[in-house]
Amino acid sequence: MLIGIDASRAECARPTGTEIYSKQLIQALLECESKRTESARHKFRLYFRDPPTAGAFPGADARHIPFPRLWTHLRLSWEMGRRPPDVLFVPAHVLPLIRPRISLVTIHDLGYLHFPRAHPWLQRLYLDLSTRWSARVATHIIAVSEVTKADLVSHYRTPLDKITVAYHGYDETLAPVRDPVRIEAAKARYAIDGDYFFYLGTLQPRKNLARTIDAFASIESKANLVLAGKRGWLYDDLFDQVRRLGLENRVLFPGYVHEENKAALLSGALAFVFPSLYEGFGLPVLEAQACGCPVITSTSSSLPEVTTKDAALLVDPQNTAAIAAAMQRTANDPALRQALVARGFINVQRFSWAACAQTVLNAIERCAIDEA
């Protein structure tokens, strides 16, 4: 069977959640397939909008099909019409207008329905229409959590048997950095001094950073708060809030953190603070735990699926006092931090990209059998 995959988001200079998901899952699918006997293997064809890195996806037929705008609905559709694979899988976008009879898509979250004010109205409209359409026309849907699956059933009336839940894996090369020199070098690169609480992700309203800043302002600690990541919608409001509170020297915005510095910065933090209002999965939680960083995260959406309740401090994300209390506890209690680190290492063992890839591949094969 020839399996085509939209790999347009698998190669990115500054990847965030969906780009990481695409790359890691595609690589895991290829690795999974390489372990089969040659006669039982499927063939994979990857479609790229931009030129892929040579050798990044060994074993696959890489097709570079450039196009300036509306790449999915125009260029990828054209390719599907002319040279369709047996199956198309889209891990991080929307299904093209023209597609093979068997087409699967990953839907990551429906957060725009739960917190509409956390998105610009035009983006919210696009997300709703494109996700609703993909959910309707797909042969099968991969949901990244039980919460996303429940949302699809509740809001779009998607049949339960049309959805398979496949949890993310995490980058298993991530590990605690024990070398203090390496940690200090990473901190110096981003102008971080002393102890710090750490957030890593896009700076946008859904991440609940305004309450995080207010919570930090209320605790008794000499630590800093580092909010790292790409600037998203309404990020200027966060800068204004920090200025109003007089915290310009203690709340730091170092920008995007490159992959080679992620483990060191997570390893050096007092805690990873991630009280997001809504997550389809919440990969940063696993990355922090893999690096030996205590985690403070939310009781909402998928986050209780991602971490067991004893492996992180779970707080109501809309309760600023609860966020502050969790930050104060981790700042004051080294034994608690050690316990959270130990339980975090156990928690991450529940997840792997190999398991995710096998679940996705099983879903593809079932669809092919059903359509035969």
Q: Residue 113's domain is classified under what CATH number?
A: 3.40.50.2000
Share of the chain above pLDDT 70, in %: 99
Of the candidates 284, 15, 10, which has an alpha carbon nearest to the alpha carbon of residue 168?
284
Return the structure tokens found at 264: 């060191």
Rounded Cα gap, residues 79 and 7, in angstroms = 14
Residue-wise pLDDT tens digits, 120-171: 889 889 999 999 999 999 999 999 999 999 999 999 999 999 999 999 999 9
Q: What is the pLDDT of residue 93?
A: 80
Q: Compute the average pLDDT of residues 11-26.
A: 88
Q: Are residue 161 and residue 274 in the same domain, yes or no?
A: no
Q: What is the structure's pLDDT at 37?
A: 75
Q: Is residue 148 part of a domain?
A: yes
Chain segment 66-110, per-residue pLDDT in tens = 999 999 999 999 999 999 999 999 998 899 999 999 999 999 999
Residue 339 resides in a domain: yes
Task: For residue 140, give both structure tokens.
Answer: 């099968």
> What is the share, in percent, of the chain residues with pLDDT greater than 90?
84
Q: Do 70 and 211 sit in the same domain of this protein?
A: no
Within a domain: 24:
yes
Residues 17 and 55 reside in one and the same domain: yes
Q: Which residue has the tokens 């200079």?
A: 13
- Same-domain status, 156 and 278: no
Q: Are residues 215 and 237 in the same domain?
A: yes
Same domain, 313 and 357: no
| pLDDT interval class at 50 (50, 70, 90) | very high
Pairing of strands 2-6, 163-165: unpaired
Distance CA 213, CA 273 (A): 11
Q: 71 and 203: one domain?
A: no
- If asked whether residues 340 and 367 sit together in one domain, one would say no
Residue 186 scores a pLDDT above 90 = yes
Greater pLDDT, 235 or 366: 366
pLDDT reported for residue 35: 82
Place of tokens 């694979």: 85
β-strand partners of 105: 90, 141
Q: What is the 3-state secondary structure (H, E, C) of the chain?
A: CEEEEECCCCCCCCCCHHHHHHHHHHHHHHHHHHCCCHHHCCEEEEEECCCCCCCCCCCCEEEECCCCCCHHHHHHHHHHHHCCCCEEEECCCCCCCCCCCEEEEEECCCHHHHCHHHCCHHHHHHHHHHHHHHHHHCCEEEECCHHHHHHHHHHHCCCHHHEEECCCCCCCCCCCCCCHHHHHHHHHHCCCCCCEEEEECCECHHHCHHHHHHHHHHCCCCCEEEEECCECCCHHHHHHHHHHHCCCCCEEEEECCCHHHHHHHHHHCCEEEECCCCCCCCHHHHHHHHCCCCEEEECCCCHHHHCCCCCCEEECCCCHHHHHHHHHHHHHCHHHHHHHHHHHHHHHCCCCHHHHHHHHHHHHHHHHHHHC
Using the CB atoms, write b or e for 238-259: b if 16+ within 10 Å: beebbeeeebeebbbbbeebee
pTM above 0.85, yes or no: yes
The predicted pLDDT at position 159 comes to: 97
Q: Are 250 and 221 in contact (CB under 8 A)?
A: no
**Picking from 15-24, 161-170, 183-192, which range would have the lowest pLDDT averaged per residue?**
15-24
174 domain-assigned:
no
Residue 175 lies in a domain: no
Amino acid at 27: Q
Mean pLDDT of the chain: 94
Q: Domain range holding 204?
A: 180-348
- For residue range 277-321, list pLDDT tens digits in order: 999 999 999 999 999 999 999 999 999 999 999 999 999 999 999
What is the model's pLDDT at position 105? 98
185 plus 292 within the same structural domain: yes
- Say if CB 250 and CB 224 are below 8 A apart: yes
Let me know whether 89 and 236 are in one domain.
Answer: no
C-alpha gyration radius of the chain: 21
As a whole number of angstroms, the distance between CA 297 and CA 282 comes to 9
46 and 123 both lie in a single domain? yes
Give residue 260's pLDDT.
93
Q: Mean per-residue pLDDT for 349-356?
A: 97
The position carrying tokens 């009336």 is: 157
Residues 191, 156, single domain; the answer is: no
Of 232, 231, 227, 238, which Cα lies nearest the Cα of 265?
227
- Tell me how many domains the chain contains: 2
Q: What span, in angstroms and rounded, lies between the C-alpha atoms of 11 and 325?
A: 40
